[in-house]
Amino acid sequence: MRRATTWTRSLLPLAVLALVVSACAQATASNPVPGFFPLPAITDQGQSSENLYVFILAIATAIFLLVEGLILFAVLRYRRRKGDDQLPTQTHGSMPFELAWTIVPFIIVVALFTLSYQTQEQVDAAVPNPPLTVDVTGFQWQWTFDYKAQGLSFTGQGTDGPVMVLPVGEDVHFRLHSNDVIHSFYLPAFFFKKDVVPGRTNEFDLTLDQTGTYAGQCAEFCGLGHADMRFTVQAVSQADFNAWVTKEQEAAKATPSPLPSGAQSLTLSASNTTAFDESTLTAAAGQPFAVVFTNNEPTGGPPHDFAIKDPAGSSNMLFTGQPLAQAGQTVTYDVPALPAGTYTFICIVHPNMTGTLTVK
Amino acid sequence: MATTVLPRATTYPRSRVYEWLTTTDHKKIGLMYVASSYFFMCLGGLLALGIRTQLAVPNDTLIPNALYNQLFTMHGTTMIFFFVMPMLAGFANYAMPLMIGAADMAFPRINALSFWIIPVSGVLLFSGFAFGGAASAGWTSYAPLAEAKYSGIGQDLWILALLLNGMSSILGAINMLVTIFKLRAPGMTMLRLPIFVWTVLVTAILLVFAVPVLASGLVMLFIDRNYGGSFFDPAAGGDAILWQNVFWFFGHPEVYIMILPAFGIISEVIPVFSRKPLFGYKAFVLATVSIGVLGFGVWAHHMFATGAVYLPFFSAATFLISVPTGVKMFNWVATMWRGKLRFTTSMLFAVGFLISFLIGGLDGAFAASTPVDFDITDTYWIVSHLHYVLFGGSAMAIMAATYYWFPKMLGRMLDERLGKIHFTLMFVGLQLTFFPMHLLGMAGMPRRIAEYAPSAWQPLNVVATFGAFMIAASMLPFLWNMFAALRRPADAPDDPWDANTLEWATSSPPPPYNFERLPEVRSERPLFDLKHPELRKAATPAAIVVSPGSGH
């Protein structure tokens, strides 16, 4: 048994070392190195939850050290010595000990539950008449943020997604909507997430108290583009927020620059999830053009859209049509000028639907 | 009347293959369960290596998203339904009848059917890869993503495969229940059952109640996808959350289905290699039963972030279930206390189980707390937690069981040196792979993402990938060890570990119908009693001593 013992001895420090090394890192907002502690939360609610987390971590660490310590002690102290064939005392149990390790953990979990319940009431508390409401819509695979009272709407483009600007110091009410599958609105700096469930509007309130720019992304697996469903939250002072609202409202009022007159307009439609109705399109090189896209699916059918793949071969899109065309809808996508060449167009909802776009 | 002289019956020379294909011997069926489970473990492990390879590099385009989604869906499904569950069913099939002194299972032919369904459903599941893509909506297949609008034919194959697989589980569970209730040897009262048998019993009850619920959900999803149903489609008046309720009503008892028999294995291995009885046998039985009961009241803790569940109830129930689990942990440590520990490979895996499962269990306290769960759910933190329970728990116990019962099952000892190399690589690999995932989750990395932007997440992902390859490497000495042992002549004695239970009271491997004679059963350690008649009085548990004057 000598080999076994030396062998056990050499392994244990290694395991302990691994734990200690990984414990050293701590995450901060400016330097998000993964560690045992979360990013410092930027909301009142998130800070309460993080305090609870740290408390549970302390208790769990104490229990971890106690029990692993007992295991290691037993392993090292009570290993059989060479040539010792005597039977150890046959202990079948001990009522006092067994009661102790039933009752003490019971008290601990009741205490943890009580604390957790109190924090949950705080985190879940609804605010009457919140000064700002943001409607979040998740869809495959992008976000739309609507500030309805302010008349503003932002839909993300590309893999960075949209930016949500929020004021610090006042309550913000969130409403989450989905029209396709389940998504989850997750911002690590909130120490919070809530699922975005079709057929159900989830609501919650948060109070931000720290300015800065924070990354978030979809946390509920939602299909091919799940990893690219990102967004950014920018927390600003109330004055900056008001200025931003005014600026965006004016920008929205200005008429969008129309396509140059005489720009080409291509027609495309889809009636099923297997293929587009047209498999080839032709456009002029170096000129912006429009794609008038009709989703001919019956009511309740799936959404489709028009996107152009990057010919370099990566999974990125050169152009992604926004918003998706819902069943029965016609959407016009303004496509920027492209150099001559052959491109693949695709429905990002149904990547098996492709066609060839010739630009010459 | 003329006398007819019948020719003496001779044994027909039957091919080995025919014999194994048609066998109803619980030992052969058990072995086939174990072998097929190891096959699927290797397959599921290869899928995991694909996942880890992809995640070692940010914005990696090695594996296209569509394939990546199939990899993690099939990894989870394979490991749960085709590795852990049938593996534990296999050990139960082999060891349980022996441990209770029975000649076979109660329904030998149903037993063969339950096994043969597994490879068939496995082929069905994996055939998705040949028909335009395997299932890719995650092993939880949340609706509406798993509906026909969003997922292809692989999803239908997944549903059919799990329906078949569930049929196998239900048949197996009923078989186990009847065997335990009806075929125990004389003297083997319920409170003298080896703890492994108790855990198999409670697991079988969980299976009988939980699997039909999954089956109903699968049928509803199949109707939605193929016959215009709308159970789970909100666009047509269905309810997306309904799927989650149905799925997790099965899915959480499922976790205990995968861990209770592992507890049972550890509760056999630790006493044998400590040369002491299990500390607190009755507390153990009680803890097992209460985990089984409470296990049905915690399913919605998987759904805290949906906003559609009553949080306090499921939070409280989840906290509560940690108490009986904690009792077990302390009882195992107390069993080792003042024992004479022998560190065979089996015992090393059992200690590895204690060390790792403790982490998985403590993680549960975080997930039970709703405000904390709002952050950690669906991040790598949860991936870490579930692997500490299922790999650090179930898989480590499966390894302990393999080294423990291999001599009995195949009549050959496994090489201890190779075993220790296997354990070291696997244990260290396990910690390296899964511990960093806690930290990645705390830093906000969601699970099931095929790529991430270049960030501070990368170094820990590289560590995890390195660990995963270490686990894969650990399988090589293990598989070689088994292969080499099978090429040697049978050399295992009846009772190589100086063990306690009846399976060691017969030859290795046991003859057809198991026993020529059975020792007297007067405690949960009949073989120990036989070997130590001098301790007979002391070793007799208070369980069967009826104190005079008590009102029995």
In a domain, B6, yes or no: no
**Which two structure tokens, joined as six digits, stand for B399?**
């390894």
Specify the pairing of strand A142-147 against strand A152-155.
Answer: antiparallel
More confident residue, B404 or A282: B404
Residue A263: per-residue pLDDT: 73
In a domain, B5, yes or no: no
B85: left (phi over 0), alpha (psi -120 to 50) or beta: alpha
Write out the H or E segment, with its range, that includes residue A192: strand A192-196
Catalytic residue among B77, B114, B141, B168: B168
Task: Transcribe B500-517 into DSSP letters.
Answer: -SGGGGS-SSPPTTS-SS
Write out the H or E segment, with its range, that includes residue A266: strand A265-270
Q: Tell me how far CA of residue A223 lies from CA of B31, B116, B344, B378, in angstroms.
A: 39, 34, 46, 15
In a domain, B125, yes or no: yes
Q: Tell me how far CA of residue B115 lies from CA of A55, A220, B204, B336, B511, in angstroms.
A: 47, 35, 15, 36, 21
Residue-level pLDDT, tens digit, chain B, 552 residues: 456 666 665 666 678 888 899 999 999 999 999 999 999 999 999 999 999 999 999 988 899 999 999 999 999 999 999 999 999 999 999 999 999 999 999 999 999 999 999 999 999 999 999 998 999 999 999 999 999 989 999 999 999 999 999 999 999 999 999 999 999 999 999 999 999 999 999 999 999 999 999 999 999 999 999 999 999 999 888 999 999 999 999 999 999 999 999 999 999 999 999 999 999 999 999 999 999 999 999 999 999 999 999 999 999 999 999 999 999 999 999 999 999 999 999 999 999 999 999 999 999 999 999 999 999 999 999 999 999 999 999 999 999 999 999 999 999 999 999 999 999 999 999 999 999 999 999 999 999 999 998 888 999 999 999 999 999 999 999 999 999 999 999 889 999 999 999 999 999 999 989 998 888 899 999 999 999 988 865 444 443 333 333 333
Q: What is the CATH number of the domain that holds B44?
A: 1.20.210.10
Beta-carbon separation of B276 and A91 below 8 A: yes
User: Which residue ranges make up each domain of chain A?
Assistant: 2-81+93-124, 132-253, 265-359
Q: How many CB atoms lie within 10 A of CB A351?
A: 17
Q: Which residue of B has its CA nearest to A195?
A: B306
User: Which A residues in the span 5-34 are in contact with B, Cβ-Cβ below 8 Å?
Assistant: 5, 7-8, 11, 14-15, 18-19, 22, 25, 27, 31-34
B534 is an active site residue: no
Are B148 and B224 in contact, with CB atoms under 8 Å apart? yes
Alpha helix (H) ranges present in B369-410? 370-376, 380-389, 396-410
Alpha helix (H) ranges present in B227-310? 240-274, 281-294
Q: Shortest Cα distance from B320 to chain A (angstroms)?
A: 7
Residue A88: per-residue pLDDT: 92
Distance, CA of B144 to chain centre:
29
CATH topology of domain A132-253: Immunoglobulin-like (2.60.40)
A2-81+93-124, which class in CATH?
mainly alpha
Are B173 and B204 in contact, with CB atoms under 8 Å apart? yes
Beta-carbon separation of B456 and A34 below 8 A: yes
User: Which A residues in the span 264-283 are in contact with B, Cβ-Cβ below 8 Å?
Assistant: 273
Rounded to whole angstroms, the Cα distance separating B501 from B524 reads: 7
Letter string b/e over residues A108-139, b meaning 16 or more CB atoms within 10 A of that residue's CB = bbeebbebbbebbeebeeeeeebebbbbbbbb
A265-359, which class in CATH?
mainly beta
pLDDT tens for A319-356 read 877 777 877 888 888 888 888 888 888 887 777 788 88
Q: How many structural domains are present in chain B?
A: 1
Q: How many CA atoms lie within 13 A of A181 on its CB side?
A: 27
Chain A residues within 8 A of B457 when measuring between CB atoms:
34
CA-based Rg of chain A, rounded to a whole angstrom? 29
Domains A2-81+93-124 and A265-359 share a fold: no
Chain B residues within 8 A of A270 when measuring between CB atoms:
none
Q: Which of B204, B200, B217 is nearest to B98 (CA)?
A: B200
Q: Could you tell me the residue range of the domain that residue B300 belongs to?
A: 21-539
Residue B15: per-residue pLDDT: 83
Rounded to whole angstroms, the Cα distance separating B475 from B421 reads: 10
**Which two structure tokens, joined as six digits, stand for B96?**
């349980």
In a domain, B12, yes or no: no
**Which two structure tokens, joined as six digits, stand for B128?**
């998705």
